[in-house]
Amino acid sequence: MLNSNFPRHVAIIMDGNGRWAKKRAFPRALGHKQGGEAVRRTVQAAETLGLECLTLYAFSSENWKRDESEISDLMNLMRRFIEADLQDMIERKVRLKIIGDYKAFAPDIVDRLEDALERTKGGERTLAVALNYGAQQEIARAARLAAEEGEVTPETMDRHLYTSDLPPLDLLIRTSGEVRLSNFLLWQSAYAEMLFIDVLWPDFGEDHLREACEEFARRERRFGGR
């Protein structure tokens, strides 16, 4: 690890692809495409900075409300991302993890994702991608599963969240200047530091992630103590 106060687990709400495109009078699809490039840069930066886990909010359970053509653009981006980057992930020892109900996606995407999960399972660092994810749904699901087993406590809930095998969330970043959580990692954010930064997602890169980690390292975390 480069700095002992650095976060182990950073999550990002990647917001602002549409505004990035609009500012340039480009189609929204181009904003998402450039957002995909920012994903590549950020995954690479997470490795450089020594993060154990990077979690990205790629498709929320509410994103189905968008236009059909935009949903299809996002799905195609996902297909291309798996095709183009899977080998690289394997070589870099990145384990893919999916949080959310990804089985609702088209069968070919489900197959590609499951193939990628299988082929990266020996990885040492984790890229967790939230797909068809909603935190309230995740919490309700965990409560149901915990109740079926007996007791509903914070500990039994933790075991049934999608994130049960990930390090605790240290830092949650949202780009684009919006200040809200939009149904992302609500349970896991209980003690996370939060950073809302005024950069549109397609412009995000290594320097932003490094600065965010440095800001995290400067903050004193008390976990409810004094």
Strands 94-99 and 171-174, by their bridges, are: unpaired
- Number of Cβ within a 10 Å radius of residue 77: 17
Helices 28-48 and 206-218, interaxial angle, to 10°?
50
Q: Decide: is 129 part of the binding site for ligand FPP (CB under 6 A).
A: yes
Please give the angle made by the CA atoms of 154, 159 and 165, to the nearest 5 degrees.
125
If binding means CB under 6 A, how many residues of this protein chain bind ligand FPP?
A: 18
**Of these residues, 5, 63, 76, 183, which one is catalytic?**
63
User: In the bound complex, what is the minimum distance in angstroms from residue 81's beta carbon to ligand FPP?
Assistant: 4
The secondary structure of the chain in percent helix, strand, coil, rounded to multiples of 5, reads 50, 15, 35
Task: Please say if 198 is a catalytic residue.
Answer: no
Separate counts of helices (H) and strands (E) for the chain:
7, 6
Binding range to ligand FPP, per CB under 6 A, among 30-38, 113-121, 139-147, 185-193: 30-38
Instruction: Write the interaction track for ligand FPP spanning residues 186-205; mark x where CB under 6 A is met and - where it is not.
Output: ---------------x----
User: In the bound complex, what is the minimum distance in angstroms from residue 123's beta carbon to ligand FPP?
Assistant: 16
CA distance 35 to 31: 6
The dihedral of CA 116, 122, 124, 130: what is its sign?
Answer: positive
User: In the bound complex, what is the minimum distance in angstroms from residue 34's beta carbon to ligand FPP?
Assistant: 8
User: In the bound complex, what is the minimum distance in angstroms from residue 150's beta carbon to ligand FPP?
Assistant: 36
Task: Please say if 15 is a catalytic residue.
Answer: yes
- Residue 82 token pair: 């798996």
- Residue 212 token pair: 């965010």
Q: Decide: is 168 part of the binding site for ligand FPP (CB under 6 A).
A: no
Q: Decide: is 73 part of the binding site for ligand FPP (CB under 6 A).
A: no
Q: Decide: is 35 part of the binding site for ligand FPP (CB under 6 A).
A: yes
| Binding test (CB under 6 A) with ligand FPP, winner from 10, 12, 39, 46 | 39
Walk across the sheet containing 193-196 and list its strands.
94-99, 125-133, 53-60, 9-13, 171-174, 193-196
User: In the bound complex, what is the minimum distance in angstroms from residue 225's beta carbon to ligand FPP?
Assistant: 36
In the bound state with ligand FPP, the residue whose beta carbon lies nearer, of 79 and 145, is: 79
By CB under 6 A, the residues from 1 to 20 that bind ligand FPP are: 14-19
The dihedral of CA 106, 123, 12, 33: what is its sign?
Answer: negative
Q: Decide: is 63 part of the binding site for ligand FPP (CB under 6 A).
A: yes
Residues assigned a catalytic role = 15, 63
- Which residues bind to ligand FPP, rule: CB under 6 A? 14-19, 32, 35-36, 39, 56, 58, 63, 77-78, 81, 129, 201
